[in-house]
Structure 1
Amino acid sequence: MPKSQTIMGVLPFGVMLVVAVIDVLAGPSLGFLPLLTLGPTFGATVGTVRRTALTGLVALAICVPLAAYNDLLFTRQNNLTIATIAGVSGASMLVSRLRINRERELANVRLVAEVAQRVLLRPVPRRAGDLRIALSYTSAAAEAQIGGDLYEVVTTPHGVRVLIGDVQGKGLESVETAAWVLGAFREAAYEEDDLTRLCERVEASLARHLNGESFVTAIMVEAHDGEVSVLNCGHPPPLIIRSDGRSETVEPPEDCLPLGLGDLGLPGPKALRVPFCDGDLMLLYTDGVIEARDRDGVFFPLGDKLGLLRRDDPQLALDDLRSELLAHVGGPLPDDAAMLLVRR
């Protein structure tokens, strides 16, 4: 049992003991007995219905002898105190029952969310072809396991293909949109031999589902011998860290619209080929990383933290970067943050 729950478990009885001691020391001139209601009140926060009822009985068991000690037994004042303790105990039992039901409902929701996460956001492989891959995903909601960011790594007859994206908006609608993108990508990645046509397949799938106002920024990457193709759909550009320590940003040749806005009739994105040799690293991330701010409003300096990624184990390196991100914010992230680190 966590330490906090242990403390809360003994708190009701500790409070009543303190009230009893103070009442004995103060004498009958000061009426502290009504404060015994704090016992069942605190008991309702963590205890079961039976434990809360036991707390109320203990409060009554303490009240009666103390009332006799103070010559208050059977007086109107003490009768009112006993009635108050009994009433608060009954109300606390009801609150305890409602809390337990709510906790069960929340546990069921979390279970469903975990199942949805395993289906929608599958664990990425540690190795794919000659690539080593690491993942970090942090949801903005403290209790959430899943959000609007998405990622996927698949090994196809056309090579290893990587996707990272960010759905505009939050909530269940963003999760649903993420599911459409991932489903279309997983299917088309095996069938299309060209990254541009793969993107067009995903765009066509979204056009059948989105309402024209939602969109998804995304990057698709395809690994080749000694290079990678990068197709950027309005997403923050990836970073490449060369084996000699130099870093560069893979900017798209021209600005392109996110997925889901193809009806605007503008040209689609074009794939850009860049060298990617042995020992090189590529960091793909969502805007929740670069838009994270500290208490003074300063953005997370991602470019200054790239040295952390030089560790031999990509997952340990990415874990270090995530720790720096959370330390910079100093609390829950304001937006989902996903990072993929690819090492050749």
Structure 2
Amino acid sequence: MATRAGEPADPEAHRARRPSNGALLLWVVGLTALILVLGLLTGTGLRLISLLVFLPAFAAAFCSVRQTVYTACWSAAAVALSLLYHPEQSRGDDIVALTLTAVFGGLSVLGCRYRIGHENEMLRLRSTATAMQRSILRPLPLLTDQVLMDGVYEPLQEDKLVGGDIYDLAASPYGTRVLIGDVQGKGLPAIGAAFAVIGAFREAAYRERTLSGLVDALEEAVVRHNAIAADADEPERFVTALVLCIDDSTTVQAISCGHPRPYLVGPGATVSVLLEEADLPLGLGSLAPAARTVGRFDFPFGTTLLLCTDGLTEARSPDGTFFPLRKRLAEEAGQPPGRLTRALHADSRTFAAGHQQDDIAVLALCRASAADTP
């Protein structure tokens, strides 16, 4: 969910996915009627009706416990009535069919209770982890003397507990320091690495005079986190990151640690791709033959600087086409940062047919003196 919403996963949304009582009744009665009609046409009604033994199992996979109980009772009653309607055919195997229907119905109810309990537990864990992450990712927009930053943050919630995208901004004595990053992997181990980077950034952004010193502090934080993770037999993580320093001049200092490139939207909807080269991600710095380099580019007044994670750049349509970010940026140019990022996020969701494939963080920055109301 986007940062402006901020709510954890809602159990009501999962309940809404279950079929209504009316839909379930229509489905059960329709299937039973179909079996009865086929039985009458083929003369094998009693044997076909025993297929209802599988009906509660299907209900257990999608319905509530109460709905599964109703379905199990319906199946058992339908088989029992068939035996009473054809007493001359009540052989031992038909009694076995009735017994199996009752047993499978009971097992289906137990299975449904287990499934719903597991879903509720996952929702609680997901909500807790999301709340933990949102407690350290400050709500947008953020403003310093140099820049206004606004954007959209949406962690992937399907099949995962929490996202690994991070961002922050610090008004240091040396200018505004900006961080956007993406932790490898998902779940609670990934958020642990995210916490480590965010904490190191907030402390080192005010201490380190140079941007290289700040990035070195972030590298050390990831290395320490990985050492602790290795002792606990957890996988090590690396973090792609883009770190900026924006002061009162029009030139921005930047170090890219394997992160997607920033974009600059200028007058006339011109879009420039900045920082063609990127160094290794945080946590892999020891593999680099040389120290990370500081890049520089112009960020004049009246322009917008866009930062994002690969949840936006690698969003795909159903046919596998990548989201045309540069084209959409040109189309949405001229909007304030908040509106620009929300428009890009909405465009990417539409482009991907509503299927979110990864965590998404989209940030837009403009010079503070030129900031409009988001």
Q: TM-score, normalised by structure 1?
A: 0.82
Q: Could you tell me whether the CA contact under 8 Å between 1:281 and 1:342 is conserved in 2?
A: yes
Displacement of 1:184: 0.3
Q: Which amino acid aligns with 1:290?
A: T
User: RMSD of aligned C-alpha atoms?
Assistant: 3.4
Aligned in 2, Cα 1:214/1:65: closer, same or farther, shift over 3 Å?
closer
Larger mean CA deviation between 290-299 and 99-108 belongs to 290-299
Aligned in 2, Cα 1:118/1:273: closer, same or farther, shift over 3 Å?
same
1:225 and 2:255 correspond:
no
1:309 and 2:332 correspond:
yes
Q: Could you tell me whether the CA contact under 8 Å between 1:49 and 1:96 is conserved in 2?
A: yes
Which 5+ residue runs of structure 1 have no aligned equivalent?
Answer: none
C-alpha distance after superposition, 1:21-75 (max 9, x if no partner): 7527854643232133344233323444454334333333334344333445754
Secondary structure of the equivalent of 1:269? coil
Match of 1:300 in 2: 323
- For residues 216 and 22 of structure 1, the distance between their equivalents in structure 2, rounded to whole angstroms, comes to 57
Larger mean CA deviation between 208-217 and 85-94 belongs to 208-217
C-alpha distance after superposition, 1:154-204 (max 9, x if no partner): 334444321012334555443322221111001112333443332232233
- For residues 284 and 35 of structure 2, the distance between their equivalents in structure 1, rounded to whole angstroms, comes to 70
Secondary structure of the equivalent of 1:209? helix
Secondary structure of the equivalent of 2:281? coil
Q: Which amino acid aligns with 1:15?
A: V
Which 5+ residue runs of structure 2 have no aligned equivalent?
Answer: 1-11, 231-235, 368-374
Pick one of 100, 111, 118 that aligns with 2:134: 118
Q: Which amino acid aligns with 1:314?
A: P
Pick one of 86, 89, 100 that aligns with 2:102: 86
Match of 2:370 in 1: none
Pick one of 250, 257, 265 that aligns with 1:241: 265
Displacement of 1:340: 1.0
What count of residue pairs does the alignment treat as equivalent? 342
Q: TM-score, normalised by structure 2?
A: 0.76
Pick one of 283, 298, 303 that aligns with 1:274: 298
Displacement of 1:5: 1.9
Q: Could you tell me whether the CA contact under 8 Å between 1:142 and 1:332 is conserved in 2?
A: no
Pick one of 5, 17, 30 that aligns with 2:45: 30
Secondary structure of the equivalent of 1:196? helix
Q: Could you tell me whether the CA contact under 8 Å between 1:185 and 1:198 is conserved in 2?
A: yes
Displacement of 1:284: 0.8
Secondary structure of the equivalent of 1:240? strand
Pick one of 326, 330, 340 that aligns with 2:349: 326
Displacement of 1:283: 0.4
Larger mean CA deviation between 207-216 and 53-62 belongs to 207-216
1:43 and 2:87 correspond:
no
Q: Quick one: percent identity of the two aligned structures? A: 32
- For residues 45 and 28 of structure 2, the distance between their equivalents in structure 1, rounded to whole angstroms, comes to 18
Larger mean CA deviation between 36-45 and 78-87 belongs to 36-45
